[in-house]
Amino acid sequence: MKEIFKADKVVKKFINTVALDQVSVSIPKGSIYGLLGPNGAGKTTLIRIINQITAPDEGTLNFNGEKLRPEHISRIGYLPEERGLYKKMKVGEQALYLAQLKGLSKKEAMSRLKKWFGKFEILDWWNKKVEELSKGMQQKVQFIVTILHEPELLIFDEPFSGFDPINADMLKKEILTLREEGATIIFSTHNMGSVEELCDHITLIDKGRTLIEGDINEIRDRYRSDTYEIGFQGEAEKLRQSLNNHYKLLETSHEGDLQKARIKLLHHTTDNELLSLLIPSVHIISFNEVYPSMNDIFIKVVKDN
């Protein structure tokens, strides 16, 4: 797969700290790439380096196979976490200004803005001052400004903060549409739910170093814990008695008359062996492997480190 962006062994030092220590990422074209990490991990620094707001001390950066250059800025869209607008300026005028700063001509910016404002049904905000808008409304304007110049690479830093669920859902759909249209999206967040839902690749950084990087399914595979969830009817006690010391019953619960149990395989046993052990004792309704949630992986990896 071709990468749209590649950072190799990037180092960025600040006065008292090392913000990024030999961080490498490669972002496949057309992916939704999750940039994860606790606060202060170095995510924002990495994003600023991609945006050429700051320059790295060491390491190489490539955009679409070329060395990253200032001209590439017009092909990147960035929605920062700490985002704002000029409060006293009118919405339309401001959007026009920011679009022109990204290199669009006034005419082009105007026609695209009209289209997007129409799509989001916010055309009547055009002559309002930003300070009259709610935070969610401002976010919509910022989103439009970020994607208006049709960038190939989009960077969203905590995009859902400040949105109500309805608008967050709308934003999610827009992000997926953009990807379908060929854009690559970098997605920086703490919200693991949205990572599982949207991302296909992730990198997890902490204290300036990469902890995991790669395809999200491969990573989840790697962190499988050989745990299965069984839905059954019958007595939980019977199920417990049927297990030998090759299995560990983690927990049981019930929803109505449906019982649930989580069992971990030990000593190289297989799921089939477990099933054959259980079938005689209870009536099995469902049998699933429990994949670790990204949240679990996140916490586990950061803690282990």
State the minimum distance, in angstroms, from the CB of residue 170 to other proteins.
21
Nearer to other proteins, 145 or 192 (CB): 145
Nearer to other proteins, 15 or 166 (CB): 15
Q: Which long-range contacts (CB under 8 A, 24 or more apart) does 249-253 make?
A: none
Nearer to other proteins, 76 or 265 (CB): 76
Nearer to other proteins, 106 or 222 (CB): 106
Residue 134 buriedness (CB in 10 A; 0-12 / 13-18 / 19+): exposed
State the minimum distance, in angstroms, from the CB of residue 141 to other proteins.
11
Nearer to other proteins, 11 or 243 (CB): 11
Nearer to other proteins, 135 or 222 (CB): 135
State the minimum distance, in angstroms, from the CB of residue 145 to other proteins.
7
CB environment 236-271: b (16+ within 10 A), e (fewer): beebeeebeeebeeeebeeeeeebbbebebeeeeee
State the minimum distance, in angstroms, from the CB of residue 192 to other proteins.
25
State the minimum distance, in angstroms, from the CB of residue 104 to other proteins.
11
Nearer to other proteins, 98 or 278 (CB): 98
Residue 224 buriedness (CB in 10 A; 0-12 / 13-18 / 19+): exposed
Residue closest to 202 by CA, chosen among 181, 179, 219, 190: 219
Nearer to other proteins, 86 or 123 (CB): 86
Binding site for other proteins (CB under 8 A): 15, 48, 51-54, 70, 73, 76, 78, 80, 82-89, 97-98, 100-103, 142, 145
The answer to whether the CB of 20 falls within 8 A of the CB of 208 is yes
State the minimum distance, in angstroms, from the CB of residue 57 to other proteins.
10
d(CA 101, CA 103): 5
Residue closest to 238 by CA, chosen among 227, 249, 223, 226: 249
State the minimum distance, in angstroms, from the CB of residue 295 to other proteins.
27
The answer to whether the CB of 21 falls within 8 A of the CB of 211 is no
State the minimum distance, in angstroms, from the CB of residue 116 to other proteins.
17
d(CA 305, CA 299): 10
d(CA 198, CA 57): 32
State the minimum distance, in angstroms, from the CB of residue 266 to other proteins.
49
Structure tokens at 158: 């905590």
Nearer to other proteins, 81 or 226 (CB): 81
